[in-house]
Chain A
């Protein structure tokens, strides 16, 4: 199968101005630090990590919404960094994003039809009015919005419905790659399931490739084919979904899986585990060597001395840990 998206050693760093008035010493925040992965057509890659691990920055970097510091991004065999701004813009119609906060990502002064039609106006300006309306109605129906809602404004909708509008807007151009940045985190449990099911259906129908970003490993398990776990801008483990949940090798992955409460009192109360202690270290001042060592139950001297390299422990199962 052809790789739709290839990300190679991607680095996104931010310069943070120093605090001294006369000695502005810049610090570097390594939000994404050497991430590589690829994505097949029709495949979903789940990206998991806690807040501050760089997962959203990674998504924005791929779309070109934040400047990339190093590494390369290939979309359908083309390296995006080599394209002119104009050419890059053309490629944008093949990659779309759905954001976390459904209401905040919609313009409150535009009607649903205007919101969904806007990408069409940009990328298919020659489309007739009638055809455009036809397309908008088609995609609205696909995501489960009613035709009579076409002239309503975002505030008239609930969170779940707003997320459907966001999905319709992302899909109206029939993109090849859909990036979902925590699309269900802000929704109620019963609505979460609706949106997850919708995304799974649409993906199958349209043969979309999806990057699904979440902090919740159970949601990611539901939707992904492969999963990548990130910690402080680095990949700690990546493999197929079943492999990751059956045989997590990195202590951080294991801690994440253990930390998720299971909605069954018999199981939940007999679970024996020690939650990870401490907090995420500041990304401005990451620990030496392995960035997870400050919270790792297995940490040894070698972890402080040297950052673990990514190793393939079995086919397609990558781990960055000295002990995996």
Chain B
């Protein structure tokens, strides 16, 4: 069932994903990394996506920007500013990717080309997408490096990636993603590989830049603390599906899915007393090759009822903007 966002007379959302299904042909059979996903992102909104390894959160991102591995296949619809991205020709998607949609990945070292100077890599973006000449592209790149607080950007821009520290490289990545002032910025675990103090800098920077440029952000992370600080809405994924989605305060105050609840309780927190045993979710994340016919979380769920084994729970709206996929919600 397609999810119809709020009221019909609202302006179209920036990004609208409907019944998205991403599958991969493998020797062991068909693997569904993303399964029947529907959501939307409004202009200026930050959507946080939480999930463990294998939850499909990274494949979701790669699906949106059409960067799936060659054995991957997309079904469903991804509409960006009203334009359908699924099935779009490479030439057309290239005009959107890196231009209207910016991306930041987890590991800045593998995303930057180690053989090219920062200047070369940044100007390329502007020359390709906006047809600027080298001199003005470089001027613009330096301004962007200044915006992400790289000291001495004017001279630093002629350096190579290895001459920057991890946090600096991530800043360069962010600057590069923002060069064309995209409407949507997708950040896939941008602070996971960084130290905590640097992570705090990067998160603060992203908040600041969003206020300045007004773009929407999809923030993928497994860190619930980062989610709490940055997102407006949160989507929790498990086994390739949405198990819960809600505005951030609602999700943290009133988590309904047993997985969300377990996740929130299993994080060691600085603000609570130590040495009490952590709550833990038993078992392991599911194997996408052998997903059960029913709810993917059933093996680890302590509240399971017989129907969980048999049928996939439906994603239902339990209060405005709060959606949960759990059979317990359907009980009278």
CB-nearest residue of chain A to B234:
A265
A268 contacts the other chain (CB 8 A): yes
Q: In the complex, A121 Cα to B80 Cα: how many Å?
A: 62
Among listed B135-143, B194-202, B209-217, interface-contacting one: B194-202
Smallest CB-CB separation from B193: which chain A residue? A51
Residue pair A263, B197 in contact (C-beta under 8 Å): no
Q: In the assembled complex, which residues on chain A have CB atoms less than 8 Å from the CB atom of B275? A: 222, 241
Chain B facing A: main interface SS: helix
Name which of A161, A188, A200 has the most chain B CB atoms within 10 A of its CB: A188
Q: Report which of B52, B167, B277, B282 forms a contact with A189, defined as CB distance below 8 A.
A: B52
User: In residues 204-240 of chain A, which contact B (Cβ within 8 Å)?
Assistant: 215-219, 221-224
Do B225 and A275 touch (CB < 8 A)?
A: no
A192 contacts B266, CB within 8 Å?
Answer: yes
Q: Is B302 an interface residue (CB 8 A)?
A: no
B52: contacting residue among A188, A218, A255, CB under 8 A: A188
Q: A262-B225, A263-B227 are in contact. Are A196 and B270 (CB under 8 A)?
A: no
Q: Give the nearest-CB partner of B265 in chain A.
A: A193
Chain A residues, CB < 8 A from B167: 279
Q: Is the CB of A264 within 8 A of B270?
A: no
Distance to closest chain A CB from B220 (angstroms)? 14
Decide: A259 and B266 in contact? CB cutoff 8 A: no
Indicate whether B74 reaches chain A with its CB closer than 8 angstroms.
Answer: no
B284 touches A260 (CB 8 A): no
Report if B134 contacts A (CB, 8 A): no
Are A241 and B274 within 8 A (Cβ)? yes
Contact of B196 among A160, A216, A269 (CB under 8 A): A216
Q: How large is the interface on B (under 10, 10 to 19, 20 to 34, 35 or more residues)?
A: 35 or more
A261 to B223, CA, bound (A): 8
Give bound CA distance, A203 to B168, whole Å: 40
> Is A190's CB under 8 angstroms from B168's CB?
no
Known: A262-B225, A265-B249. A222 touches B203 (CB 8 A): no
Chain A residues touching B, majority SS: helix
Q: Does A263 lie within 8 Å of B228, measured CB to CB?
A: yes
Q: Which residues from chain A contact B279 at a C-beta distance below 8 Å?
A: 193
Task: Provide the bound-state CA to CA distance between A200 and B167, in Å.
Answer: 33
Nearest CB to that of B271 among chain A residues?
Answer: A262
A216 and B225 alpha carbons, distance in the complex (Å): 13
- Bound together, the chains give a CA A205 to CA B248 distance in angstroms of 40
Does B53 count as interface, using CB distance less than 8 angstroms?
yes
For B53, the chain A residues whose CB sits under 8 A away are 159, 188
Binary contact track A174-195/B, C-beta < 8 Å → 1, others 0: 0000000000000011111110
Kindly state whether residue A84 has any CB partner on chain B within 8 Å. no
Interface residue? A126 (CB, 8 A):
no
Q: Could you tell me the distance in whole angstroms from the C-beta of B203 to the nearest C-beta in chain A?
A: 7
Smallest CB–CB gap between A161 and chain B, Å?
7
- Say yes or no: A260 contacts B225, CB within 8 Å: yes
Check: B292 CB closer than 8 A to any chain A CB.
Answer: no
* Cα(A193)–Cα(B262), bound, Å: 10
Cα–Cα, bound, A176→B165 (Å)? 39
Shortest CB-to-CB span from A162 to chain B, Å, is 11
Are A160 and B203 in touch, CB under 8 angstroms? Answer: no
> Is A257's CB within 8 Å of the partner chain B?
yes
Which residues 235-262 of A sit at the B interface, judged by CB distance below 8 A?
A: 241-242, 245, 255-262
**What B residues does A193 contact at CB under 8 A?**
266-268, 278-281
User: Is A261 a contact of B225 with CB atoms below 8 Å?
Assistant: yes
- Does B95 lie at the interface of the complex (its beta carbon under 8 Å from any beta carbon of A)? no
- State how many angstroms separate the Cβ of B75 from the closest Cβ of chain A: 28
Q: Give the distance to chain A from B272, nearest Cβ to Cβ, in Å.
A: 9
In the complex, what residue of chain A is closest to B203 when comparing beta carbons?
A261
Render A271-288 as a binary contact track against B, CB cut-off 8 A, 1 for contact. 101011101100000000
Bound together, the chains give a CA A215 to CA B196 distance in angstroms of 8
Q: Chain B 259-296, CB within 8 Å of chain A: the 1/0 string?
A: 00011101111110011011111101100000000000
A266–B263 touching, CB < 8 Å: no
B68 contacts A by Cβ under 8 Å: no
* Contact across chains for A190 and B280 when beta carbons are under 8 A apart: yes
Chain A nearest Cβ from B55, distance in angstroms: 9
Smallest CB-CB separation from A259: which chain B residue? B200
Q: In the bound complex, how far is the Cα of B213 from the Cα of A51, in angstroms?
A: 32
Residues B197 and A275 in contact, CB atoms below 8 Å apart: yes
Is B252 an interface residue when CB atoms closer than 8 A count as contact? yes
B271 to chain A, nearest CB (A): 6
Instruction: Please tell me if the beta carbons of A161 and B284 are within 8 angstroms of each other in the complex.
Output: yes
Instruction: Tell me if A267 counts as interface (CB < 8 A to partner B).
Output: yes
| CA–CA, A158 and B284, complex, Å | 7
B263 close to A190 (CB less than 8 A)? yes
List 5 contacting pairs A-B, 8 Å CB cutoff, sorted by A.
A190-B262, A191-B285, A221-B270, A257-B270, A264-B252
B contact residues vs A (CB 8 Å cutoff): 52-53, 165-168, 195-201, 203-204, 222-229, 248-249, 252, 262-264, 266-271, 274-275, 277-282, 284-285, 300
